[in-house]
Amino acid sequence: MTGFVEAARREKLKELVERGVAAFAYRFERTATAHQALALYRSDDDPTRHVLAGRLVALRPHGKTTFAHLEDPSGKIQLYFKLDEFGAETYGLLELLDLGDHVGVEGRLMKTRTGEITLRVAKFTLLSKALRPLPLGKEDASGVKHGELTDPEIRYRQRYADLAVHADVREVFRLRTRIVQGIRAFLDGKGYLEVETPVLQPLYGGATATPFKTHYEALDTTFYLRIADELYLKRCLVGGLEKVYEIGHDFRNEGLSRFHNPEFTMAEWYQAYADYNDMAALTEELLAVLVLDLFKSSVLERHGATLSFERPFARKDYYALVREHAGVELANTSDAELRAVLKRHNSPDADELRGPKLVDEVFKTCVEPKLVQPTFVLDYPLALSPLAKPKRGDPTKVERWELFVQHRELANAFSELNDPDEQRRRFEQQAELRAAGDTEAQQLDEDFLRALEYGMPPAGGVGLGVDRLTMILADQTNIRDVILFPMLRPE
């Protein structure tokens, strides 16, 4: 059926060419959007002519008259064509138009008998012929749409069609842009300098993850797509750029899920002479300001819960949360006890995990599902955080927090480790984990250690997941719904 429809459209294209009509224009200058034109209506006697452009999303011929709807980014407006105003030859061109075609129209505004503001078209121009029909769907008498683009796989794979037919999807990505703009404006206002660090790196680091790797032909060397921006941003601190941030893509060679895409967007910022407490206060302020600016309220209904972004956010201790929800005391528990906890929760990986990974999995399984409101979880075990400073007064822990909202980590922060000798010891411990089979453990980065030896000021740093923040604020439950072109298996 689709092939027949496309063939019919190509026949129309052929006839348009034969009639000397250009089916793919170079440009078109409009004077207003649909929304602006509707707002400018005063009376049917107003002589003002409006020039609009957009897609045809409805086309209803009635002999000597034709009604249509034109859609542009601002919304829809009804069009009215009348044979007497065009003549038979020009009016006949309407028969060669299809839903999805881009057209330019010019005319005056009027109201129909039903009271709908409508553009009475005096002139129209074909701007782009759609050779494939958009899955717009048809609405029956009960208001239910049929034939609409609903298959998630097709929506993600053909995002251009998804955007074209779903105004709500376009709004999600407009919101995402405003979120990124808001983060940038906030940090700029705090005196941070936006910088760019390498995406292709000779050595990856800054997180616990498996990288994507590629071969650089000119140097005959393996390079990696970055898994985090952290180590290069800290190099900036060494060089005297005391407040820096970057909003960019990171890449981790991991599985796909509702919360994971191998290419994702992070906002990371670092500040000299600050610690993780300062970073918590700054992050709290950023989110409170951002939410209030975007939604004119600090309280949002999202994912079936009422979330409050009013300051201060809750602050809870990592060890206390594990004690409360897993029933174990991390300071003196064993791997066997932790595995028993996971097995009680039917975790499939309990027998394969050990050491820091086992602790992390217990937290994810037992604690994260309990964290709904914005909550800073503070003071992590040392083994989980090779880049953070030890906690003052308790060297078994580090000064680190993670921010959770709606059961998921949204941001991560440290009082940054700036002792090069201690950093080397931490890297060496990570090397032992790699030797024991942990492929995600961090590598020893001699250049980063050299940078620390020149002296890095005490600092606090934060990494914020832009995709996950957008999921929450746009009320989406799948990360693919907030990434324009998410990772998919090849067709």
Q: Are residues 124 and 199 in the same domain?
A: no
Q: Are residues 290 and 406 in the same domain?
A: yes
Residue finishing a domain among 107, 133, 159: 133
Structure-token pair, residue 3: 């092939």
Residue finishing a domain among 87, 108, 133: 133
Q: How many domains does the chain have?
A: 2
Q: Are residues 194 and 293 in the same domain?
A: yes
Residue finishing a domain among 76, 110, 133: 133
Among 9-18, 100-109, 339-348, 388-397, which is the least confidently predicted range?
339-348
67 located within any domain: yes
Share of the chain above pLDDT 90, in %: 86
Confidence of residue 353 (pLDDT cuts 50, 70, 90): confident
Q: Are residues 185 and 43 in the same domain?
A: no
102 located within any domain: yes
326 located within any domain: no
Q: Are residues 179 and 283 in the same domain?
A: yes
358 located within any domain: no
Query: Domain containing 30 — which CATH number?
Result: 2.40.50.140
Query: Domain containing 273 — which CATH number?
Result: 3.30.930.10
| Per-chain mean pLDDT for the chain | 94
Strands 243-251 and 263-272 turn out to be antiparallel
Confidence of residue 385 (pLDDT cuts 50, 70, 90): confident
Among 64, 74, 52, 169, CA closest to 119 = 52
Q: Are residues 407 and 299 in the same domain?
A: yes
Q: How far apart are CA 418 and CA 408, in angstroms?
A: 29
366 pLDDT more than 90: yes
Q: Are residues 119 and 175 in the same domain?
A: no
Among 259, 260, 263, 261, CA closest to 250 = 263
| pLDDT reported for residue 145 | 56
| Angle value at C-alpha 296, between 291 and 299, nearest 5 degrees | 60
142 pLDDT more than 80: no
Q: Are residues 66 and 199 in the same domain?
A: no
141 pLDDT more than 80: no
Strands 75-82 and 50-62 turn out to be unpaired
87 located within any domain: yes
Q: Are residues 124 and 188 in the same domain?
A: no
328 located within any domain: no
144 pLDDT more than 60: no
Q: Are residues 31 and 178 in the same domain?
A: no
| Residue-number span of the structural domain to which 174 is assigned | 168-313+373-481
3-class secondary-structure state, position 285: helix
490 located within any domain: no
146 located within any domain: no
Q: Are residues 96 and 187 in the same domain?
A: no
Confidence of residue 105 (pLDDT cuts 50, 70, 90): very high
Q: Return the exposure string of 85-112: e unless at least 16 CB atoms fall within 10 Å of the residue's CB, then b.
A: ebeeeebebbebbbebbbbbbbbbbbee
Q: How far apart are CA 245 and CA 385, in angstroms?
A: 21
Q: What is the pLDDT of residues 249-300, one digit of tens each?
A: 999 999 899 999 999 999 999 999 999 999 999 999 999 999 999 999 999 9
Confidence of residue 1 (pLDDT cuts 50, 70, 90): low
Q: Are residues 176 and 81 in the same domain?
A: no
Q: How far apart are CA 197 and CA 229, in angstroms?
A: 7
pTM for the predicted model, two decimal places: 0.92
